[in-house]
Structure 1
Amino acid sequence: MQTRLNQAQPYALGLFRIVIGLFFACHGAASLFGVLGGAMNGGSIPAGTWPGWYAAVIQFVGGILVMLGLGTRIAALICSGSMAYAYFKVHQPEALFPLQNGGEPSAVFCWAFLLLVFTGPGALALDRLFSRSGAERDKDRAAEPAPPVTV
């Protein structure tokens, strides 16, 4: 059973990345475009407002990048940092524990994205399409046996 679980690990990690990225992008879309309940009951955050609008842009763009698995580690690092900032600047001054200060989503997103920084994107990521250089692909093609030539 452990062998099967180990074989499935990249796919489970990929699914985790996709779901976390989707949820994070939804938060950004709600704040930027007033969808899904939007910021402040259906509204949107005015462009350029510090820090809310910038956080929403990070959430939306970063969430999409992580969901697609494109630049995953860098996008996840930025997303994690933005959630750490949100937690310590907005939530933590209200109370010590996330359950008391309403900062559970910020804390969970922060740690989830930090995990992706260290684990990478897992399976089903666009990063995999661009991770190998052209020289490596050419080397692999050269190592393949040539098809038989018929005359």
Structure 2
Amino acid sequence: MSGRLNSAQPYALGLFRIVVGLLFACHGAASLFGVLGGAGGEGLTVETGTWPGWYAAVIELVGGTLVLLGLGTRAAAFISSGAMAYAYFKVHQPGALFPKQNGGEGAAMFCWAFLLLVFTGSGAFGLDRVIGRRRTADRREPDREPVAV
């Protein structure tokens, strides 16, 4: 049984990456553009250039989109994880010790989910793998010179 589960691991990881990236990108889009309920669920947006809200929203949108696509997954996940760690410790944790008490459950979950992706990579369905396969195929194929007849 574990053999079958192990063979499905890249696909489960790919689906995990897609869902986490989509949720994170939606959060950024809501904050930047007021879609999907906007910032605070009221259709509001964060003011351009404000620290840290606007920068966090840009990281959420761009990082989430890159993770969703599986493009530069490890780097995007690393930056996104750091942004969520900052959000948790700077915004949520001063209010109370535990995430349930301070409203930081989302930040904590995103932080750890992205940290996992830093170490695992994109899994299946990612553009990282497609690009990696092309590069490997290009390296394997020797340069062919035209044969003179």
| TM superposition score normalised by structure 1 | 0.89
| Counterpart-to-counterpart distance in 1, 2:114 and 2:127 | 17
Q: Which amino acid aligns with 1:51?
A: P
1:30 aligns with 2:39: no
Shift of 1:133: 6.4
| TM superposition score normalised by structure 2 | 0.90
| Counterpart-to-counterpart distance in 2, 1:35 and 1:132 | 36
| Counterpart-to-counterpart distance in 2, 1:99 and 1:126 | 36
Match for residue 112 of structure 1? Answer: 113
| Counterpart-to-counterpart distance in 2, 1:109 and 1:15 | 15
Structure 2 gaps, min length 5: 143-149
| Counterpart-to-counterpart distance in 1, 2:138 and 2:23 | 38
Aligned-pair identity (%): 72
Structure 1 gaps, min length 5: 143-151
- Backbone CA RMSD of aligned residues: 1.3
Partner SS state of residue 131, structure 1: helix
| Counterpart-to-counterpart distance in 2, 1:28 and 1:115 | 20
Match for residue 101 of structure 1? Answer: 102
1:42 aligns with 2:43: yes
| Counterpart-to-counterpart distance in 2, 1:62 and 1:139 | 30
**How many residue pairs were aligned?**
141
